[in-house]
Chain A
Amino acid sequence: MQPAWSPDLSRLPEFEKAALRVRGLSLWYGETQALHDVELDVPERKITALIGPSGCGKSTLLRCINRMQDLIDGVRISGEILFHDKNVFAPDVDVFALRRRIGMVFQKSNPFPKTIYENVAYGSRIHGLRKRAQLDEIVEKSLVRAGLFDEVKDRLQESALGLSGGQQQRLCIARAIAVEPEVILLDEPCSALDPIATQKVEELMQELKERYTIVVVTHNMQQAARASDYTAFMYLGRVVEFGETGEIFVKPRVRATEDYIRGRFG
């Protein structure tokens, strides 16, 4: 067994078809370094879970991928994230086009104060789609894929804020997939949901991985074990261990990973 703090990168899995390749990514909030030289390959059309104790940098890493971290003042980034062999931090990257291809769902469900229909159609509208028939089709297709259509088909023109928490979160997923992204980033999508709603979202993730690459940040060990194909354990801003979920949970190679998943700290 390896010592607790040194990451074991010698056996990081390499994928022929990686949707994202994180290379030497470091990030500072002012003077504080939040990510240390992170290396990670995210396999295409699989579910990759990022686990680790609070403040280990999982959400920060996730938000770097679609460059939401740019919004925060005083953030400095080095290293690169390759998406289709192009660094997302390159100066000529169109951030808005990038975010369209890499969707995101947040910890707290955040439907817009609009109708259910307008929520799902929002992304298509801002990308210039005007035709009503096409919008109708996109809205229906996205809601069907998010498993929400049957529940809301009679009240598409009602406020999205009238939905339950779990429905709101699935609406946010429908909103994200309505613009046909390639990657979906889920930032603790179930942390505010009850077990039944959580189960629905997890089932949805399994269906979605047929079409999309999914990266999910979670605090819930069972969820990572149940729902993901690959798991990366992060600690103090580093990826300590990364591998197939079964392997990580059954026989972790690093002490810190084992301590964490056995619940000895967290």
Chain B
Amino acid sequence: MLWLASGALATSLLLMTGLVALVAWNGLGYFWQAPVVELELADGSHVLGEVVDRGERELRIRFGNRDLGGADFRWIPTADVRAETQPLDALVLEREEYGRFFGYPVAIRWGETVTADGSDAVFAALPSQLAAKRAERAAQLDPLQAEIRAQNRALEREARERRDTSKVRARYEISAAELAERESRYLEDVLVMRTADGRQQTIPLAHVVRAVRANALGVGGKLALYGSRIGEFLFAEPRESNTEGGIFPAIFGTVLLVLLTSVAVSPLGVLTALYLREYAREGWLVRSVRIAVNSLAGVPSIVFGVFGLGFFVYGVGGTIDALFFADRLPTPTFGTGGLLWASLTLALLTLPVVVVATEEGLAAVPRVVREGSLALGATKIETLWRVVLPAALPGALTGLILAMARAAGEVAPLMIVGMVKLAPSLPLDGDFPFFHLERKFMHLGFHIYDVGFQSPNVEAVRPLVFATALLLILVVLCTNLTAILIRNHLRRKYAGSGV
């Protein structure tokens, strides 16, 4: 029996660590810069890229340059490779569009003027010129875009109040034209690149996110690059329909969703448990309520999603729109999926866990302790509030921890109550009233599904899916750790109470 039990434990531990290790290995490798190789093939052609897989008879190379060819990857029979070199001049560009570019630098042109000619000159000039480009963006484009957004809002407001919009519209159109002009000028400055097979390609400097001279990097340089890429992954907005760039909005959405869900589910769950355990008279009614609550845990989560859509989004949200936002109709404000409705739906979904755990916690508070309070002249509510509930709190928190883990990992119900592939803005920003709970949001779980199975270039993004999964695990771990720390603090405070 002992062997059986310890064997089972060892197997589960092994499975868990194995899973996390697999996800971590595949995910974290994505940010490491592999050496860039140039292959000379039997037919005389040249390919430049990173070798991803080196098999017995074939090797797989990622050569990027989607704007020139089609796919990012190519299988090459090992027998066809005549020579393999690691050229020092090779430059990897991470771009705003079309993914990575592998090639050799030729020149930099600002408009018609050539500012750097030859690869050495380009390498010397590139960092400062990219910085100059970024400064230009910050100084000229960003403020204008912000202004246009403000004008756009003003326009909407005027239209809503049925006032004359012509003046505002005129100003808006001037700004928009100005922006278009600046943007086209912004893209005129280019980096000229040569591919391994000799074709030339001009790439706007503005589109270069990062230029890496991969084979000239030492270990320190590679580590710095690794850190900078992870930083981008964590804190930047996604690009290229989520297959490049960062996933900050998804992290933000997930964490906010989990927090809002716990804010909604804790009072509801604790009050339900209090009623069931402390007030309701044990009988068929209470028993059936308890069975119903426990059965909720077995309902497929998509059903909760459908309920959330019907009840919260169309029912409650539609009513709110009709009462308070009638002037914006038919554009819905609350009558469409959003963060608020999604977190309330998840609150319902996770309610049974919290109720059951809180009930257990309440049941563990001895009757003599309650009587001690009552015998001092405390009312039932005072006793519950001051003695019983604090003692039952660690139990309730255990329930909340389980609920949070479930909420963070849930995807299906969210797809119909407000989760989107790409949200235009965060639910929390500088615009009054700062919290925009009616907004759509992004979520790590859906991000994994979307990037992994819905993107046009599944091969290229597979490591990204692993990295996102790893991050989701980390987010769950962090929220749980916080809750566990709070619970341990409470337990220490009431040390030895046996609950």
Chain A: residues with CB nearer than 8 A to chain B? 66, 68, 71, 96-100, 103-104, 106-108, 110-114, 122-123, 125-127, 159, 161-162, 172, 175-176, 179
Closest to B380 in A: A71
B377 and A97 within 8 A (CB)? yes
Q: What is the CB-to-nearest-CB distance from A128 to chain B, in angstroms, rounded to a whole number? A: 11
**Known contacts A71-B371, A161-B495; is-contact A112 B378 (Cβ 8 Å):** no
Closest to A175 in B: B376
A126 and B386 within 8 A (CB)? yes
A179 and B376 within 8 A (CB)? yes
Complex: A125 Cα to B387 Cα, angstroms: 13
B368 and A108 within 8 A (CB)? yes
B376 and A162 within 8 A (CB)? no
Q: Is B231 an interface residue (CB 8 A)?
A: no
Closest to B490 in A: A113
Residues of A within 8 A of B379 (CB): 96
Residues of B within 8 A of A127 (CB): 377
**Known contacts A114-B390, A122-B386, A162-B495; is-contact A96 B378 (Cβ 8 Å):** yes
B366 and A110 within 8 A (CB)? yes
Q: Summarize B's interface: helix, strand, loop or mixed.
A: helix
Residues of B within 8 A of A161 (CB): 494-497
Give 17 CB contacts A-B under 8 Å: A96-B377, A103-B376, A106-B368, A110-B368, A110-B371, A114-B387, A122-B376, A123-B376, A126-B376, A126-B377, A126-B378, A159-B493, A161-B496, A161-B497, A176-B375, A179-B376, A179-B377
Q: What is the CB-to-nearest-CB distance from B336 to chain A, in angstroms, rounded to a whole number? A: 47
Q: Which of A68, A125, A159 contacts B374 (CB 8 A)?
A: A68
B387 and A112 within 8 A (CB)? yes
10 tightest A-B CB contacts, nearest first: A113-B494, A100-B377, A161-B496, A113-B497, A104-B375, A110-B368, A123-B376, A110-B372, A99-B377, A96-B377
Q: Is B391 an interface residue (CB 8 A)?
A: yes
Q: What is the CB-to-nearest-CB distance from B374 to chain A, in angstroms, rounded to a whole number? A: 7
B496 and A71 within 8 A (CB)? no
Q: What total count of A-B pairs have CB within 8 Å?
A: 81
Complex: A113 Cα to B373 Cα, angstroms: 12
Complex: A114 Cα to B369 Cα, angstroms: 11
Q: Is B382 an interface residue (CB 8 A)?
A: yes
A68 and B375 within 8 A (CB)? yes
Q: What is the CB-to-nearest-CB distance from B205 to chain A, in angstroms, rounded to a whole number? A: 65
Residue picked from B375, B391, B495, most chain A C-beta under 10 Å: B375
Known: A110-B368, A159-B493, A175-B376. 4 other contacts (CB 8 A): A68-B371, A106-B375, A123-B377, A159-B497
Complex: A125 Cα to B377 Cα, angstroms: 11
Complex: A176 Cα to B496 Cα, angstroms: 22
Closest to B375 in A: A104
Complex: A8 Cα to B241 Cα, angstroms: 96
Q: What is the CB-to-nearest-CB distance from B494 to chain A, in angstroms, rounded to a whole number? A: 4
Complex: A3 Cα to B494 Cα, angstroms: 54
Q: What is the CB-to-nearest-CB distance from A125 to chain B, in angstroms, rounded to a whole number? A: 8
Closest to B498 in A: A161
Q: What is the CB-to-nearest-CB distance from A41 to chain B, in angstroms, rounded to a whole number? A: 23
Residues of B within 8 A of A104 (CB): 375
Residues of B within 8 A of A100 (CB): 376-377
Complex: A161 Cα to B387 Cα, angstroms: 14
Residues of A within 8 A of B374 (CB): 68, 71, 99
Q: What is the CB-to-nearest-CB distance from B419 to chain A, in angstroms, rounded to a whole number? A: 41
Closest to B369 in A: A110
Q: What is the CB-to-nearest-CB distance from A100 to chain B, in angstroms, rounded to a whole number? A: 4
B494 and A114 within 8 A (CB)? yes
Residues of A within 8 A of B496 (CB): 159, 161-162
Residues of B within 8 A of A96 (CB): 377-379
Residues of A within 8 A of B387 (CB): 112-114
Residues of A within 8 A of B493 (CB): 159
Complex: A79 Cα to B387 Cα, angstroms: 34
Residues of A within 8 A of B494 (CB): 113-114, 159, 161
